[in-house]
């Protein structure tokens, strides 16, 4: 039998709490306070508050006057942000909690009032954990990087639509040209839209190494491209150019925002230097480094260890144990912006000639491609934590042959000989000349 374990619960219990069940236009507030004359009793008050600035500020003043020390709200779309920001500005300790952690008991009625009461009860008993909400400068940086990601995705969709239009006109140039929107590809598209229909003239616009594909280009441009297709392509190209200009503006704004990030104690932040050090990791470029910095923030004190960060990012498999049986469950959803960037980084690192690339090749043989990529993403996130946690740390690649250097030659030889003997072979070893 295990020895009794003493647990201190005084730090988890909260006497004066408030919980808000948030909707789009309003929020149901439940405030629970100690009874003035009967210590074993609690006083509960529930009321509805409009989701306007003046109403939320008035709510903050009321909670401060009542001595409320913690305000908890469920993450509901983007509607929680106004309550969180305005109440936090009033000096209240605001917690944002995951909706999955605050579900009511199944079988009981569900209303906004009951949800607010349930959330308040969980809060005062210390049964909730706050979600990671970065400070305002990091949140603004997140808005910039996420907007850039959305615009880049939209630009990619417009490029794919142009390729679809060319296929509809029997123009197979995308099968010959690697980058349809490069210098040569864009020149050919502009001429095609302007009214040029001669395949040889269009193929003659190729530059550089693409000149070697002249015959294939002539065949690819032989189709039925009409003015209707040209109008559609022109419309999409103008949209692509507009999106490119917008992403360039965002890139400059992101660089300036990273330079202005404050440090943990108010001194100049390590944003620019951290982006450069993250760029040294295989698979990470300047854009990916900026996304990681925006999603995680420069202050790693919110994550005590690298394992905490990996668990928060949902890159650690969940273990479910029951009746002596342990089952590994999927990692979970996590931050979609962070996991999307880490997925692309891991895929790029898997093709690199580095330690991460070698590790991927070892794992993919026995674990499969999806699990191997998740493992590489977790390794990269651990490296990011160490680089962000230590301003003087730099990334040093262990090399492709790192695992080979760990192998004991004598033991490896003994294992191979044993395997050959098990297959019925008589093995004699002779030293190499």
205 assigned to some structural domain: yes
For residues 156 and 93, membership in a common domain is answered with no
For residues 269 and 385, membership in a common domain is answered with yes
In this predicted model, what pLDDT tens digit does every residue of 181-194 receive, in sequence order? 999 999 999 999 99
CA 166 to chain centre: 34
Indicate the length of the chain as a whole number.
433
Reported in sequence order, the residue ranges of 102-210 that DSSP labels E, i.e. its strands, are none
For residues 228 and 329, membership in a common domain is answered with no
Number of domains into which the chain is organized = 3
402 assigned to some structural domain: no
For residues 119 and 47, membership in a common domain is answered with yes
d(CA 220, CA 235): 23
For residues 181 and 64, membership in a common domain is answered with no
Residue 139 pLDDT exceeds 80: yes
Q: Could you say which of 215, 238, 257 is where a domain stops?
A: 257
For residues 56 and 22, membership in a common domain is answered with yes
Ranges 72-76, 187-191, 291-295, 327-331: which has the least confidence: 327-331
Residue indicated by tokens 């999307």: 340
422 assigned to some structural domain: no
pLDDT of amino acid 336: 92
Domain at 87, CATH number:
3.30.420
For residues 117 and 144, membership in a common domain is answered with no
For residues 194 and 243, membership in a common domain is answered with yes
In this predicted model, what pLDDT tens digit does every residue of 191-204 receive, in sequence order? 999 999 999 999 99
Q: Could you say which of 228, 257, 286 is where a domain stops?
A: 257
2 assigned to some structural domain: no
pLDDT of amino acid 404: 84
Whether the CB-CB separation of 188 and 206 falls below 8 Å is answered with yes
For residues 220 and 265, membership in a common domain is answered with no
Q: Give residue 137's pLDDT band: very low, low, confident or very high (50, 70, 90).
A: very high
d(CA 102, CA 112): 13
DSSP per residue over 209-253, as a string? GGGGGHHHHHHHT-S---HHHHHHHHHHHHHHHHHHHHHHHHHHH
Mean pLDDT for the chain overall: 89
Q: Give residue 119's pLDDT band: very low, low, confident or very high (50, 70, 90).
A: very high
CA 322 to chain centre: 32
pLDDT of amino acid 105: 72
Average pLDDT over residues 306-332: 83
pLDDT of amino acid 129: 87
Burial of 319: CB neighbours in 10 Å, binned 0-12, 13-18, 19+ = exposed
Q: What three-state secondary structure class fits 28?
A: strand
Residue 23 pLDDT exceeds 80: yes
Residue 373 pLDDT exceeds 90: yes
For residues 247 and 268, membership in a common domain is answered with no
Q: Could you say which of 209, 225, 257 is where a domain stops?
A: 257
Structural domain containing residue 274: 261-389
291 assigned to some structural domain: yes
Residue 9 pLDDT exceeds 70: no
242 assigned to some structural domain: yes
Average pLDDT over residues 138-159: 96
Cα→Cα distances 27→18, 19, 111, 160, 212, Å: 12, 10, 12, 43, 67
Among 66-80, 237-251, 332-346, 390-404, top mean pLDDT goes to 237-251
d(CA 43, CA 200): 85
pLDDT of amino acid 5: 61
Whether the CB-CB separation of 30 and 119 falls below 8 Å is answered with yes
86 assigned to some structural domain: yes
Q: Give residue 267's pLDDT band: very low, low, confident or very high (50, 70, 90).
A: low
Residue 353 pLDDT exceeds 60: yes
d(CA 271, CA 294): 10
pLDDT of amino acid 377: 95
């Amino acid at each position: 039998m295990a020895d009794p374990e003493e647990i201190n619960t005084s730090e988890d219990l909260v006497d004066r709490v408030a919980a808000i069940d948030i909707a789009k236009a309003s929020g149901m507030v439940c405030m629970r306070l100690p009874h003035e004359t009967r210590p074993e009793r609690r006083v509960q008050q529930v009321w509805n508050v409009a989701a306007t600035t003046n109403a939320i500020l008035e709510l903050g003043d009321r909670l401060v006057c009542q001595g409320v020390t913690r305000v908890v709200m469920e993450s509901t779309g983007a509607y929680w942000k106004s309550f969180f920001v305005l109440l936090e500005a009033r000096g209240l300790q605001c917690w944002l909690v995951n909706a999955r952690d605050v579900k009511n008991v199944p079988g009981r009625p569900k209303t906004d009032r009951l949800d607010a009461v349930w959330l308040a009860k969980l809060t005062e008993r210390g049964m909730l954990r706050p979600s990671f909400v970065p400070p305002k400068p990091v949140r603004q940086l997140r808005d910039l990087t996420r907007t850039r990601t959305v615009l880049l995705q939209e630009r990619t969709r417009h490029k794919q639509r142009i390729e679809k239009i060319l296929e509809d006109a029997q123009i197979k140039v995308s099968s010959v040209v690697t980058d349809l929107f490069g210098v040569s590809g864009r020149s050919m598209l502009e001429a095609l839209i302007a009214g040029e229909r001669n395949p040889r003239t269009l193929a003659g616009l190729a530059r550089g190494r693409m000149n070697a594909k002249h015959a294939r280009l002539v065949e690819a441009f032989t189709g039925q491209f009409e003015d209707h297709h040209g109008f559609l392509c022109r419309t999409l190209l103008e949209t692509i150019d507009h999106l490119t200009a917008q992403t360039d503006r965002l890139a400059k704004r992101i660089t300036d925002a990273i330079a202005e990030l404050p440090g943990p104690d108010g001194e100049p932040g390590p944003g620019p230097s951290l982006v450069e050090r993250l760029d040294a990791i295989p698979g990470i470029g300047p854009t990916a480094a900026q996304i990681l910095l925006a999603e995680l923030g420069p202050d790693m004190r919110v994550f005590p260890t690298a394992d905490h960060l990996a668990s928060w990012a949902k890159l650690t498999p969940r273990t479910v144990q029951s009746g002596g049986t342990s089952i590994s469950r999927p990692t979970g959803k996590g931050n979609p912006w962070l996991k999307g960037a880490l997925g692309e980084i891991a895929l790029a690192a898997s093709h690199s000639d580095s330690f991460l690339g070698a590790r991927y090749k070892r794992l993919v043989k026995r674990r499969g491609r999806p699990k191997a990529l998740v493992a590489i993403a977790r390794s990269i996130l651990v490296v990011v934590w160490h680089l962000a946690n230590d301003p003087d740390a730099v990334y040093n690649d262990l090399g492709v042959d790192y695992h080979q250097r760990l192998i004991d030659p004598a033991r490896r030889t003994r294992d191979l000989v044993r395997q050959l003997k098990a297959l019925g072979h008589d093995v004699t070893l002779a030293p190499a000349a």
